[in-house]
């Protein structure tokens, strides 16, 4: 049975770098607070008009160029984001149009920080079932246009950044390559612990002047609750997926945890007993880019950690929903 193997990852982040010092001009915060609590030093924000599907397109073009593939080679697109350009259709169709591949199916995934792993699970299942052989899996987020850039929103706003990363996956029969296992979870009892209420179809009309003037259009987060769940669930699911594959933490060449908060990633590392060289973080430069965070970090982890063909890569996510999961792949 074929498995899904990573071919390459292309990335795109907007040119505009927003430092912690810049944020202090808009809200009551400090570089010291942000670095101490999150590890983040800077993030990228889009200029007006640059959206989620366009960043995904630019990342996808890079991935295709790196692999020497043409867009026409793709059998399917899977697009993970919580920040679609428009309420509908999903950004998969906008990306399909930008890539110029009418007819190629485009699946939209909206599982927030776990979106890339939910997408990877689908891609792997399609490839194992022989449905498709070459798939583009993209995570792309535009947070900056939806953040409360005032002191009221500072707990959320300092964390998030914009960016995109696109992975190309292909069918392989090589037993030393490809996705070994993916495990996914959700617990909707916590849906409102990290969410944005509006605009939404439960409201009639879906958006009002009052909503725009109130906090309803901004993300809200029970930060400590998210933190406490993340540091338990991520190590738990990594151990579980390793057990399913008959592997151990010592077999991991590099773990790429979702980049939510450096303190979360460090706690996960300690809990799993991993050495520093077995974990890769880049939240310092990008903040939390939600669905883009794992592939954006993975693309840098491969050269930074000297990952070679056949090395074991572990991925772990936790985020809004709550949703979480882990994946193992041989590079």
Binds ligand UT7 by CB under 6 A, chosen from 41, 190, 227, 245: 227
177 or 229: whose CB is closer to ligand UT7? 229
On whether the CB atoms of residues 330 and 180 are closer than 8 A, the answer is yes
Phi, psi of 155, deg, nearest 5: -65, -35
The stretch near ligand UT7 (CB under 6 A) out of 78-86, 127-135, 200-208, 221-229 is 221-229
Question: Under rule CB under 6 A, which residues in 17-76 are in contact with ligand UT7?
Answer: 29, 33, 37-38
Q: Applying CB under 6 A, does 252 fall inside the site for ligand UT7?
A: no
Measure the CA dihedral 141/106/322/59, to 10°.
-30
Residue least distant from ligand UT7 (Cβ): 223
85 or 155: whose CB is closer to ligand UT7? 155
Q: Where are the alpha helices (DSSP H) in the chain?
A: 20-23, 31-38, 52-67, 91-99, 115-128, 154-157, 209-213, 223-245, 262-272, 283-286, 293-304
Question: From CA 77, how far away is CA 107, in angstroms rounded?
Answer: 6
93 counts as catalytic: no
Question: Under rule CB under 6 A, which residues in 296-325 are in contact with ligand UT7?
Answer: 319
Q: Applying CB under 6 A, does 146 fall inside the site for ligand UT7?
A: no
On whether the CB atoms of residues 36 and 152 are closer than 8 A, the answer is no
288 counts as catalytic: yes
Q: How many residues does the chain have?
A: 331
Beta bridge partners of residue 182, listed in sequence order: 327
Question: Under rule CB under 6 A, which residues in 256-295 are in contact with ligand UT7?
Answer: 260-261, 264, 288
Q: Applying CB under 6 A, does 230 fall inside the site for ligand UT7?
A: yes
Is residue 88 packed enough to be buried (19+ CB in 10 Å), middle (13-18) or exposed (0-12)?
exposed
Catalytic member of 113, 143, 281, 282: 113
258 counts as catalytic: yes
* Helix H or strand E segment including 181: strand 178-186
Nearest distance in Å: CB 194, ligand UT7:
6
Nearest distance in Å: CB 209, ligand UT7:
28
Binds ligand UT7 by CB under 6 A, chosen from 123, 136, 137, 158: 158
Site string for ligand UT7, 161-180 (x = CB under 6 A): --------------------
Instruction: For the beta carbon of residue 17, count every other beta carbon within 10 angstroms.
Output: 15
**Could you give the residue numbers annotated as active site?**
113, 258, 288
Binding interface with ligand UT7 (CB under 6 A)? 29, 33, 37-38, 113, 154-155, 158, 194, 223-224, 226-227, 230, 260-261, 264, 288, 319
């Amino acid at each position: 049975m074929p498995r899904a193997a990573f071919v390459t990852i292309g990335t795109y982040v907007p040119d505009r770098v927003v430092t912690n010092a810049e944020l202090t001009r808009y809200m009551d915060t400090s570089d010291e607070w942000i670095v101490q609590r999150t590890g983040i030093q800077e993030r990228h924000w889009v200029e007006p008009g640059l959206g989620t599907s366009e960043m995904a397109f630019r990342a996808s073009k890079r991935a295709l160029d790196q692999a020497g593939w043409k867009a026409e080679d793709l059998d399917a697109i899977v697009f993970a984001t919580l920040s679609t350009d428009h309420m509908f259709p999903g950004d998969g169709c906008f990306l399909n149009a930008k890539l110029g591949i009418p007819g190629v199916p485009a699946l939209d995934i909206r599982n927030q920080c776990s979106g890339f792993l939910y997408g990877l699970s689908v891609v792997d299942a399609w490839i194992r079932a022989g449905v498709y052989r070459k798939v583009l899996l993209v995570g792309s987020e535009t947070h900056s246009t939806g953040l409360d850039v005032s002191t009221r929103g500072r707990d959320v706003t300092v964390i998030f950044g914009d960016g995109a990363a696109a992975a190309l996956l292909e069918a392989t029969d090589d037993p030393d390559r490809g996705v070994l296992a993916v495990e996914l979870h959700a617990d909707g009892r916590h849906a409102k612990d990290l969410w944005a209420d509006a605009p939404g179809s439960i409201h009639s009309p879906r958006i009002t002047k009052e909503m725009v003037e109130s906090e309803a259009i901004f993300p809200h987060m029970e930060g400590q609750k998210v933190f406490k769940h993340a540091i338990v669930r991520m190590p738990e699911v990594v151990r579980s997926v390793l057990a399913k594959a008959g592997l151990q933490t010592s077999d991991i060449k590099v773990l790429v945890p979702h980049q939510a908060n450096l303190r979360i990633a460090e706690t996960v590392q300690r809990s799993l007993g991993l050495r520093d060289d077995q974990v890769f973080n880049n939240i310092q430069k990008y903040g939390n880019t939600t669905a883009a965070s794992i592939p954006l970090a993975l693309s840098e982890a491969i050269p930074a950690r000297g990952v070679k063909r056949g090395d074991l890569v572990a991925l772990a996510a936790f985020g809004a929903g709550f949703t979480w999961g882990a994946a193992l792949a041989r590079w």
